């Protein structure tokens, strides 16, 4: 719980009294809840928060920015791989992040939604209206490209995108973002008149594996992608000049401190394509973004020791965060779910309404629930969002089991309690709830196990936990890294199950276990 508080009140890090108060409150459940509420109003002494998208180059650029800010004496943190363009853009506008790496083509097409290709100055002016500033290009153009296996391209004689017209049987595997983009698949197909019928959406990193084993023949890529050389792929020439320029820049909130902005601007023009490909390759080779980012700086070698976080340490950090996410959300589910279950057990319109609401929440896919919460002002890209989503998920089993546990108490026993003359509160606390305890606890157990599993998704919005290695493993197409997260998460679920079995023996009255 302690580290969770740190996260939640992290913005107040510079205020010692808050830290003291936090320490005093650690361990007590209700105060922690209050801290969560208090965290709504951010204090002023914030570190600069850098966001990044969910692919290697963005991670590396994010790390470089953090490092550059730190070198300039500006406190900065990096939230890795928060999602796609829209999530990052909204997080920037909402103030959950202060800066993130972006590409001019993406800004024009996705954010400003221009039909023509605007000039650099036009883009800058348009962003200014949103209170967002933009650095000069960092030096490389990472445009979209279509790639194929070299051998296959040679065999079929495909060199340009136009050449694809002659091979309608080729299977396309495209990222979901590319499929939906204004400058993505649909206009590309129209422009070139591409005939391919087999088009599927696939995760970027998984797509490379699919390409290698022949499940797909063509996929979208970024022109600085290290995977292109690594996997012996060729970039098909954009002979009709469809793709706009994708010069890498940093976007930042105009209100960001001048020191931070000038630190970011010192990165302008310092990264050419060759250098970026090299950094991307190093990141994927070492599975370590910080290390790759450090290569960018001359003192990279020396500060590399901060990079070597040992595996047990990382695992501990992930696991702790995972337990915090799942545990805290479970606690909220219990605090809210049991009273709701008690009300629901009385039936009527309100009872039906409560059960209906909880059921509906449960039917929303967890990923969609996260995506729905992110644009809401209070939530955004934060631990709050992850905990709220998990809390909502955990609600139904607890509400339903509390209600059914209470409803299953025989009428004769309810009436005995009434006839004895016990007050309503005493009846609830000393008779009804203990009698329903088995059902309630099994609801809590279900919620806990669900939460442990679902909490892996929290990494998608930068909330950390065991989803972090799963996500970056997916991103790096590295099975070992995926397992580093998946195996502990599964073990954790088993452990939690076992813990609750023990808890049953402690909490369920003996008379009900005989």
Contacting residues toward another protein, per CB under 8 A? 412-413, 415-423, 426, 430-431, 434-435, 437, 509-512, 514
Exposure b/e, 70-87, CB count within 10 A at least 16 = b: beeebebebbbbbbbbeb
Please tell me whether residue 339 adopts helix, strand or coil conformation.
helix
**Of 253 and 438, which CB lies nearer to another protein in the complex structure?**
438
CA distance 371 to 377: 13
Q: 219 phi and psi, to 5 degrees?
A: -140, 165
Q: Residue 511 CB, nearest distance to another protein (Å)?
A: 4
Angle between helical axes of 56-71 and 289-296 (0-180°, round to 10): 60
**Of 365 and 511, which CB lies nearer to another protein in the complex structure?**
511
Q: Residue 342 CB, nearest distance to another protein (Å)?
A: 17
**Of 5 and 406, which CB lies nearer to another protein in the complex structure?**
406
**Of 16 and 511, which CB lies nearer to another protein in the complex structure?**
511
Q: Using alpha carbons, select from 232, 93, 63 the residue that is nearest to residue 149.
A: 232
**Of 73 and 511, which CB lies nearer to another protein in the complex structure?**
511
**Of 24 and 420, which CB lies nearer to another protein in the complex structure?**
420
The residue count for the chain: 514
Q: Residue 418 CB, nearest distance to another protein (Å)?
A: 6
DSSP string covering 428-461, please? IIIIIHHHTHHHHHHHHHHHHHHHHHHGGGGGGG
Q: Using alpha carbons, select from 223, 343, 339 the residue that is nearest to residue 277.
A: 223
Q: Residue 355 CB, nearest distance to another protein (Å)?
A: 25
Q: Is 199 exposed, middle or buried (0-12, 13-18, 19+ CB in 10 A)?
A: middle
Q: Residue 507 CB, nearest distance to another protein (Å)?
A: 11
Q: Residue 347 CB, nearest distance to another protein (Å)?
A: 16
User: Which residues are registered as beta bridge partners of 222?
Assistant: 144
Q: Residue 409 CB, nearest distance to another protein (Å)?
A: 10
**Of 37 and 419, which CB lies nearer to another protein in the complex structure?**
419
CA distance 490 to 453: 8
């Amino acid at each position: 719980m302690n580290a969770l508080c740190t996260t939640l009140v992290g913005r107040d890090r510079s205020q010692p009294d808050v830290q003291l108060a936090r320490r005093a409150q650690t361990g007590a459940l209700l105060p922690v809840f209050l801290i969560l509420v208090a965290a709504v109003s951010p204090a002023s002494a914030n570190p600069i928060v850098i966001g990044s998208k969910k692919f290697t180059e963005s991670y590396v650029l994010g790390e470089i920015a953090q490092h550059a800010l730190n070198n300039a004496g500006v406190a900065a943190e990096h939230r890795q791989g928060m999602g796609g363009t829209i999530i990052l853009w909204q997080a920037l506008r909402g103030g959950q992040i202060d800066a993130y790496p972006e590409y001019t083509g993406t800004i024009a097409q996705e954010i400003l939604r221009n039909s023509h290709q605007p000039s650099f100055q036009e883009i800058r002016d348009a962003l200014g209206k949103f209170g967002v500033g933009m650095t000069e290009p960092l030096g490389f153009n990472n445009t979209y490209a279509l790639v194929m296996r070299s051998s296959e391209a040679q065999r079929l004689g495909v060199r340009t995108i136009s050449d694809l017209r002659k091979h309608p049987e080729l299977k396309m595997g495209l990222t979901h973002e590319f499929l939906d983009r204004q400058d993505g698949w649909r206009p590309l197909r129209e422009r070139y008149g591409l005939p391919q019928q087999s088009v599927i959406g696939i995760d970027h990193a998984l797509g490379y594996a699919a390409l290698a084993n022949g499940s797909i023949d063509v996929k979208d890529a970024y022109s600085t992608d290290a995977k292109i050389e690594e996997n012996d792929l060729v970039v098909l020439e954009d002979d009709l000049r469809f793709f706009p320029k994708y010069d890498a820049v940093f976007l930042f909130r105009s209100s960001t401190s001048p020191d931070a902005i000038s630190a970011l601007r010192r990165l302008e023009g310092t990264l050419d394509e060759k250098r970026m490909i090299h950094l991307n390759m190093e990141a994927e080779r070492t599975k370590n973004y910080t290390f790759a980012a450090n290569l960018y700086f001359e003192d990279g070698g020396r500060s590399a020791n901060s990079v070597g976080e040992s595996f047990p340490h990382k695992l501990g950090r992930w696991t702790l965060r995972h337990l915090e996410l799942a545990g805290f959300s479970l606690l909220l589910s219990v605090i809210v779910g049991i009273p709701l279950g008690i009300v629901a057990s009385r039936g009527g319109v309100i009872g039906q309404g409560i059960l209906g609401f909880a059921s509906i929440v449960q039917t929303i896919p967890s990923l969609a629930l996260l995506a729905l919460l992110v644009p809401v002002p209070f939530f955004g890209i934060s631990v709050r969002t992850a905990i709220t989503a998990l809390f909502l998920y955990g609600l139904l089993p607890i509400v339903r089991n509390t209600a059914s546990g209470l409803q299953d108490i025989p009428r004769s026993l309810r009436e005995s309690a009434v006839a004895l003359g016990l007050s309503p509160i005493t009846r609830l606390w000393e008779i009804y709830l203990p009698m329903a305890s088995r059902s309630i606890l099994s609801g809590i157990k279900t919620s806990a196990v669900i939460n442990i599993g679902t909490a892996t998704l929290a990494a998608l919005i930068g909330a950390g936990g065991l989803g972090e290695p799963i996500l970056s493993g997916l991103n790096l197409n590295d099975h070992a890294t995926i397992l580093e997260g998946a195996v502990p998460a599964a073990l954790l679920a088993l452990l939690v199950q076992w813990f609750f079995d023990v808890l049953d023996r402690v909490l369920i009255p003996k008379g009900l276990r005989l």
